Structure 1
Amino acid sequence: MRPWQTLPTHRTWLDGECRRLLGFGRHAALADGGAAYLDDDGVPDLSRGVQTWITARTVHVYSLGALLGVPGSTEIAAGALAGLTGGLRDAESGGWHHALTAQGAPDVAAGKSCYDHAFVLLAASSATLAGIPGARDLLDEATGVFLERFWDDKAGRCVDEWDTSWSVVDPYRGLNANMHAVEAMLAVADCLDDEAWRDRAARICELVVVLAEENDGRLPEHFDADWIPQPELNRDRPDDPFKPYGATIGHGLEWARLLLQTEASLGERASSSLATTASILFDRAVEDGWARDGAPGFVYTTDWDGSPVVRDRMHWVAAEAVGAADALHRRTGEARFADLYAAWWDYVATYLMDVDRGSWRHQLDEFNSPADGVWPGKPDLYHAVQATLLPRVPLGPSLARAARDGLVVA
């Protein structure tokens, strides 16, 4: 049987699913700028305010839609971007607030995070390539803020959080924010043709290579200011949406893909350890996470011996799984990765795709029934849309660069 990725009919299916997803978010952009958190039917949930990470993801996704020629995408991207140049931007101290409250006030108590700012970088890069007005100025500002406030050149990785006035940096260091920084850095490099951003991404990846080797493929997520792992952090809050306790299955898969994309982006300068580590992370995530309790799907987190902790299935984990399986199949040619890719799309189609109300169900319980303890509603489209695009582009360029250069295979 031919790998699905080589079938024109499968690529056509992916294209159709991408457009279906983009249709779900057609009301995401808000009149005053920014993007809404979406409910189960794609209706803005205004009680949740306007969040920078959702707004930036919306700019990114609909910039991709614009580059793909999907009507209506440019307007949505521009509307969301207006939030990043407007109310979410801290005109006094610089950078971006985490959110605006439902009353429209900046959420100053939340401080400023690398996670949010990495997505601003990604959004500005994609929007610049899509020709969205104001995007290049946003990118210039965002790169300056990121390098000044979050990039620790001595450590070769990013700090995680500041207070809102940039007076105090939190001692917490996190792998999640650094993971999204790698994605953003590769996108900036492709947008600006600036190798320095690729080199920064590669330095962060060096840490992941070491961590995977030292921890049998289960990546510690939480660290102190000296980058000493804090493996027990949030044991009392194991399903935290951003800082869960234990090893996060989806991040092992996401890192596997990002290591291969970094390798492809660096070309001959890449270390051979990136591909080796990608396979280690992937295999560990599959062994620990897939169908551990008799039902298909990936558990959210495990303990350090691989025992499931949070058994709910998050849609983003399956999305990252298909992307990682595809990347490893193309990198290695091994049929097992293509087989898993097909099996996991079957899972997505059977359990996650909501053909009646749109988009993908963001959270299922251990029996694959809808749940909402961590992710109520269907907040955004980032992971699902990327899952439909990654198998149709080369490993090297970022999605926006590939789309701009006509490299997306329909």
Structure 2
Amino acid sequence: MTAQSWISLATHRDWLTGEANRLFEFFQHRSINPKGGFYEFDDLGNPLGGDDPARGIHITARMVHCMVIGHLLGRPGCSQLIDHGMDYLWNHHRDRKHGGYFWTMGNDGPKDATKQGYGHAFVLLAASSASLVGHPLADEMIDDVTEILETKFWEDEHGAISEEFEPDWTPIPGYRGQNSNMHLTEALMSAYEATGEDLYLERAERIADLIINRKARETGFRVGEHFDENWNLLKDYRGNEMFRPSGTTPGHWLEWARLILQLYALGGKEKTWMPEAAEQLFAQSMALGWDHRQGGFFYTLDWDDQPAKRSKLWWPMAEAAGAGAFLNGHVPSDMHESSYRLIWDTIAAHFLDRKHGGWHEELSEDLKPAHTIFAGKGDIYHALQACLIPLYPAEGSVTKGIIDSQET
């Protein structure tokens, strides 16, 4: 490589730490909804949704995960948010009649009582992270959500989970999605780190093999989002543009690039297809997804590799930073380093809200704050991990990296 990696520079690492602290300052002290769960915010940091906002299970679970990170880093007060979130997951989102976890909650019960694979993945992540700080509900929650994933969602003939059910577990047919399986891969790795049980690692490897090694490889490492029940690609699918965006989403190519390198490391570096696939996913993201005129990643592309939704969202930028850090850790190159720098340059110039705190979650094509998909600043998860992933070895999760660093 022709230049020293930013990741090795103490000054860059200090800058990342400062940005992580800014995120904690924005989210930590205002997020608790006294009626349960956590608030999401507008650009100024005011709660969204009035007196009875919908509390998505992914927001609750991600906050638990991020506050575990804060607690491990020695930030006072994070344990209160961990307790608040775990209580809400266990005593409100959990369906005591039929089992599983409701998708969204309100003050008086479920607003959407469906059982979503995406949501259950984040419950496993929250519980696995909480177990690292000895939370009293963590082990029981890990066992509970693992049983649900195994008995209700997992489809062994495909090596992945199904998508959604009615509250009584009546299947909602016709769709399989990569997004829920991608996030389950992250959660399964977290559960493997927390418990040491090989089943979690094996499940994660099977999902990655299906979605990346087989399906994405077939389409030139453009990750398909939407499939039928037999995992045939649905190129013309139209759905919820937040959770099931049409076309293909470069941000998910980037997210997978990091996840499969993490999976490669956890699996003893035996799956030799993984580094090559990660390089291909990252290269395709930068070549096809990056706006080479104005900067940032287009939200979605069509299957002719043309921008479809031209908004620039914060989470692909965050995932790109994490992917760049992992690639520099496993397969360092000038391209990976220059891309890593370009990504952070763009984040610093356009996505950081220096006036009100947090990151702008959505920008227009010309990099101006916008709100066509996201209403404000709802979530610390992507941005916080982007700031912290480069600070630890590219061998596991942020939580594992923090704990390992404290033991040496």
Distance 1:104 1:378 in 2: 25
Aligned to 1:95: 100
Residue identity (%): 36
Checking the alignment, whether the CA contact within 8 Å between 2:325 and 2:394 is kept in structure 1 is no
CA contact 1:100–1:107 (8 Å) conserved in 2: yes
Paired position in structure 2 for 1:230: 234
| One-letter amino acid matched to 2:365 | E
Tell me by how many angstroms 1:171 deviates. 2.6
Structure 2 match to 1:129? 132
- 3-state SS of the aligned residue for 1:100? strand
**Is 1:70 aligned to residue 91 of structure 2?**
no
- Counterpart of 1:6 (choices 8, 17, 22) is 8
Alignment partner, residue 84 of structure 2: 79
Q: What pairs with 1:134-283 in structure 2 (closer than 5 Å)?
A: 134-207=137-210, 208-234=212-238, 240-268=241-269, 270-283=270-283
* Correspondence for 2:40: 37
**Superposed displacement of residue 104, structure 1:** 2.8
Cα deviation per residue 1:5-53 (whole Å; 9 max; x = unaligned)?
0001111111111111011112212223322222223333244321111
Letter matched to residue 345 of structure 1: W
Cα distance in 1 between the residues matched to 2:108 and 2:54? 7
Corresponding residue for residue 347 of structure 1: 346
What is the alpha-carbon distance in structure 1 between the residues aligned to residue 346 and residue 228 of structure 2? 37
Mapped to 2, the partners of 1:156 and 1:364 lie a distance apart of 36
Would you say the 8 A contact 1:36–1:55 is kept in 2? no
Per mean C-alpha deviation after superposition, the further-off stretch among 192-201 and 39-48 is: 39-48
Q: Which residue of 1 aligns with 2:380?
A: 381
Runs of 5+ unmatched residues, structure 1: none
Paired with 1:55 and 1:311, the residues of 2 have a C-alpha distance of: 29
The answer (yes or no) to whether the contact 1:56–1:122 under 8 Å persists in 2 is: yes
Aligned 8 A contact 1:318 1:348 in 2: yes
**1:285 Cα deviation (Å)?**
1.1
**Superposition deviation, residue 169 in structure 1:** 4.1
Conserved? CA contact 1:33–1:86, under 8 Å: no
| Alpha-carbon contact 2:54-2:111 (below 8 Å) kept | no
Q: How far off its partner does 1:407 sit?
A: 5.9
Provide TM-score, normalisation by structure 1.
0.94
Report if aligned partners of 2:93, 2:104 keep a CA contact under 8 Å in 1: yes
Aligned residue type for 1:28: S
Q: What CA distance in whole angstroms lies between the structure 1 residues aligned with 2:108 and 2:44?
A: 24
Helix, strand or coil at the partner of 1:85: helix
SS of residue paired to 1:37: coil
Instruction: Assess if the C-alpha contact under 8 Å between 1:35 and 1:83 holds in 2.
Output: no
Shift of the 355–132 alpha-carbon distance from structure 1 to 2, 3 Å rule, reads farther
SS state of the match for residue 233, structure 1? coil
The one-character-per-residue Cα deviations of 1:196-251 (angstroms, maximum 9, x if unpaired) are 111110011111111222101211110111111111001xx6x7011111110100
In 2, the alpha carbon distance for the partners of 1:152 and 1:320 equals 28
CA distance in 2, matches of 1:36, 1:92: 27
Q: Tell me how many residue pairs correspond in the alignment.
A: 402
- Once the two structures are superposed, residues 86-144 of structure 1 have per-residue CA deviations (whole angstroms, 9 ceiling, x without a partner) of 2211111111100113x432124x51101000001001111110223322222221212
| Conserved 8 A contact 1:129-1:401 | no
Tell me if the contact between 1:295 and 1:367 (Cα under 8 Å) persists in the aligned partners: yes
Q: Work out the CA distance in 1 between the residues paired with 2:404 and 2:37.
A: 28
- Normalising by structure 2, report the TM-score: 0.95
Indicate how the Cα distance of structure 1 residues 355 and 162 shifts in structure 2: closer, same or farther if over 3 A, else same.
same
**Residue 401 of structure 1: CA displacement?**
2.3
Give the CA deviation at 1:174.
0.2
Amino acid in structure 2 at the alignment position of 1:262? L
Structure 1 residue 408 displacement after superposition: 10
Whole-angstrom CA distance in 2 between matches of 1:160 and 1:148:
13
Structure 1 equivalent of residue 59 of structure 2: 54
Q: Tell whether the 8 Å contact from 1:29 to 1:77 is kept in structure 2 after alignment.
A: no
Compare 222-231 and 76-85 and name the one that shifted more: 76-85
Report if aligned partners of 2:250, 2:289 keep a CA contact under 8 Å in 1: yes
Give the superposed CA RMSD.
1.6
- Give the residue type in structure 1 aligned to 2:378: P
Give the AA of the match of 2:61.
A
Q: Secondary structure at the match of 2:308?
A: strand
Does the CA-based 8 Å contact 1:31-1:79 persist in structure 2?
A: no
Match of 1:19 in 2: 21
Q: Is the CA contact 2:57–2:102 (under 8 Å) kept in the aligned structure 1? A: yes
The residue type paired with residue 229 of structure 2 is A
Q: Structure 2 CA distance, aligned partners of 1:397 and 1:253?
A: 17
| Aligned mates of 2:332, 2:301 — CA distance in 1 | 29
CA contact (8 A) 2:329 2:393 kept: no
* Contact 1:49–1:104 (CA under 8 A) maintained in structure 2: no
Secondary structure of 1:351's match? helix
**Any conservation in 1 of the 2:215–2:224 contact (CA below 8 Å)?**
yes
Matched-pair contact (CA < 8 Å) for 2:16–2:388: yes
Matches of 1:129 and 1:33, distance apart in 2: 23
